[in-house]
Structure 1
């Protein structure tokens, strides 16, 4: 009974403190002047002029070389920086609100093979966690289910919406497969044993392969006998219309995935995590397989690995020609997603060019998701999904947003965290003045 009361109170608190009202559709025109524009494709305009109209970027140019009439509201961003909206890849944003409250946890389904599960219909647009992403410039997210051998389908959302229908940018962009682990550690978390080859690895790979081959055969059959929802859900991915995301780490596991991809003519494979992927970079490049590199702010995967391997891993891949974006799965992943700009900043701090590091959280993710026609960079004709920062947005000290827009809508940058900040700053300011 006590547990039930706690759950009811928690749910009431979540409802009572829901996200603020989403911004209305753009009606006027905005002209951003004098900012340094980081295009997202590697280019920079030191003194830019950007015109936002009807939700689109209708003009972007160097203000020192192009004369342009100022339309609508002039936003003087002198000394500031403009960036495309940051994209949080492989996230569970909006699927869990409070881990300890089961009723707010909808990130996974029971069962092993769930390709028919769609994360988008479980997405909570009023999540307080989602709200806290925007003040750091994270404006778009790929929402991914977890669990099982095949978790289900992910979708792409913008982070200022009334409901999942309003939020959706692209629904069902791909299937997520958790490739069997080729190595495992015996013992417990208190007394871990040695890392050894998994005894059931070959059996698990065979089972997964048989399932996918059956789905492929089902999709190729004009009039299959009976309806199999799980097989049918894999049709677009097996036919090459959607991505297949293989969550896999380790050299052997990645090589086995590439063997499977080649044998089954998988057209749009993506490696997620990909630790030790630098050892098979040549094969990844030859097969045009992008990698969502595992969380940058993490510990080394092996005892004999360089202490800074997570920091420099994306650059190691990129230097060898692999298309790389950043992802964030792991402990406290929903709350940590606000750190995406700082992941890119850490990569830049370990040798990567700053603008190329920015691409790993903007244009490259957009290309992998198939939304780069409208998102991922500051270009004429694309969606006006961008933000203005006082300083370098990839640096914690400079990431101070003044304005942000999603599809031209002037969105709120307030959150529970900003309210607490203002409350206690006022408190301490009053004490200092005494």
Structure 2
């Protein structure tokens, strides 16, 4: 009897596991695919009406107007008349795959103990079977930069695609950037510890900045010296100094950004990107002159100060672009993993508040790819680039039109089913049956 109960329990677990299992990653592209008739939004500011897109071996081999070709279309034909084609959206500065359920400690793997951790790599902690990652794809978010959190130097990010068996299969660019959390010149007291919550000068600000500077100087001295002992933190800094690894600095204040620019010069950092940049507009000229891009935090936020325009977060990306700064959007903050699926609607909001729609599209495609250093293969629909794209019923930056019919990563036709879509279909059937009774 006990043995029978054991078998029944195993059977139940197997059935429930199958019901909620991750979608099986798509196999390699085996035949050519031709998408005919769609409005192609190339991601570089251009549009091709009534387009022809041919995909072979995971690459785009042709993007043109359908009327310009008189030959037989190769492979499988997808009639996309009346629909829209977009490059896959890219989510930078994300913790997708590092945390599944915040309240369950065993599923939280976004931070490590210590202050200076350039050797910590987010990639090996990335969970390719995360159900949250799976839910990105139906909205067209097909790639992301997976970033560790915490302390002064939180570690090294990597860029992945969102249809994989494991992190080895997922990786697009390994160890792409170092992430620094710049000290704040002003800080609010921690009310939960009985401190005054008002904004006050941070007396330790210069000391914290100096600590970062000393670490960079020590790392460079170690790398230029005999290296007669093994220091993992310093060894991880070598690609930073030779320009192979970008430096992403999470910072918002004007003074902090100006101090960061000086830090960049002192330590001869070639590829530096600001993440957040809430007050970057006040120093936009300095950012432009020093060739520093900004990953602007999600527009669906309220102003930080009472004196600011109510729509300041909505229009910040456009204001920075108007000043000549290279800009893209990121979605960190409260409930950031879930909210990453709203990335296209963040861009849509920026467009609604003054930016040209195709320029807004660049904020989550080609601009992001350029900032992350993957623009040679992703971010736009161009000949020779990866066939990472999707077909939408309507405007993909509008939640009413963002209805995907097909999606491809490196030419592989991926599933758009998730736990959420299964539940939606299940309860849609339920209420339709009730209406017919």
The TM-score normalised by the length of structure 2 is 0.94
C-alpha contact 1:113 1:148 (8 A) present in aligned 2: yes
Match of residue 5 from structure 1 = none
Mapping for residues 345-356 of structure 1, pairs under 5 Å: 345-356=348-359
Residue 271 of structure 1 and its aligned partner are, at CA, apart by 0.4
Q: Does 1:169 align with 2:156?
A: no
Match of residue 81 from structure 2 = 78
C-alpha contact 1:18 1:127 (8 A) present in aligned 2: no
Residue 429 of structure 1 and its aligned partner are, at CA, apart by 1.0
Mapping for residues 188-267 of structure 1, pairs under 5 Å: 188=191, 193-221=197-225, 223-267=226-270
Residues in 2 aligned to 1:16 and 1:66: alpha-carbon distance in whole angstroms: 46
Residue 14 of structure 1 and its aligned partner are, at CA, apart by 8.1
Residues in 1 aligned to 2:420 and 2:255: alpha-carbon distance in whole angstroms: 43
Inter-CA distance 240–14: structure 2 relative to 1 (3 Å threshold) = farther
Q: Does 1:341 align with 2:341?
A: no
Q: Does 1:36 align with 2:39?
A: yes
Mapping for residues 104-123 of structure 1, pairs under 5 Å: 104-123=107-126
Match of residue 102 from structure 1 = 105
C-alpha contact 1:135 1:401 (8 A) present in aligned 2: yes
Mapping for residues 4-403 of structure 1, pairs under 5 Å: 17-186=20-189, 188=191, 193-221=197-225, 223-403=226-406
Residues in 1 aligned to 2:209 and 2:70: alpha-carbon distance in whole angstroms: 61
Residue 68 of structure 1 and its aligned partner are, at CA, apart by 3.8
C-alpha contact 2:216 2:267 (8 A) present in aligned 1: no
Residue 194 of structure 1 and its aligned partner are, at CA, apart by 2.5
Residue 193 of structure 1 aligns to a residue whose secondary structure is coil
Residues in 2 aligned to 1:68 and 1:310: alpha-carbon distance in whole angstroms: 49
Residues in 1 aligned to 2:270 and 2:317: alpha-carbon distance in whole angstroms: 23
Inter-CA distance 297–14: structure 2 relative to 1 (3 Å threshold) = farther
Residues in 2 aligned to 1:368 and 1:323: alpha-carbon distance in whole angstroms: 8
Residue 65 of structure 1 and its aligned partner are, at CA, apart by 2.8
Inter-CA distance 18–355: structure 2 relative to 1 (3 Å threshold) = same
Residues in 1 aligned to 2:220 and 2:177: alpha-carbon distance in whole angstroms: 15
Residue 207 of structure 1 aligns to a residue whose secondary structure is helix
Match of residue 416 from structure 1 = 419
Match of residue 3 from structure 1 = none
Residue 241 of structure 1 and its aligned partner are, at CA, apart by 1.3
Inter-CA distance 19–118: structure 2 relative to 1 (3 Å threshold) = same
CA deviation string 1:169-209 (max 9, x = no partner): 00000100000011111361699632121111011111111
**4+ residue stretches of structure 1 with deviation over 3 A?**
12-16, 189-193
Residues in 1 aligned to 2:294 and 2:258: alpha-carbon distance in whole angstroms: 13
Inter-CA distance 386–266: structure 2 relative to 1 (3 Å threshold) = same
Inter-CA distance 187–86: structure 2 relative to 1 (3 Å threshold) = closer
Q: Which runs of 5+ in 1 are unaligned?
A: 1-9
Residues in 1 aligned to 2:428 and 2:219: alpha-carbon distance in whole angstroms: 58
Residues in 1 aligned to 2:170 and 2:432: alpha-carbon distance in whole angstroms: 39
Residues in 1 aligned to 2:17 and 2:230: alpha-carbon distance in whole angstroms: 40
Residue 64 of structure 1 and its aligned partner are, at CA, apart by 2.2
Residues in 2 aligned to 1:402 and 1:192: alpha-carbon distance in whole angstroms: 52
Inter-CA distance 79–16: structure 2 relative to 1 (3 Å threshold) = closer
Inter-CA distance 14–352: structure 2 relative to 1 (3 Å threshold) = farther
Residue 284 of structure 1 and its aligned partner are, at CA, apart by 0.5
CA deviation string 1:318-369 (max 9, x = no partner): 0100000111111111111000100100000000001011101001111111
CA deviation string 1:203-240 (max 9, x = no partner): 1111111011111222222x312111001101101221
Residue 73 of structure 1 and its aligned partner are, at CA, apart by 1.1
The number of residue pairs the alignment matches comes to: 423
CA deviation string 1:358-389 (max 9, x = no partner): 10100111111111111110001111000000
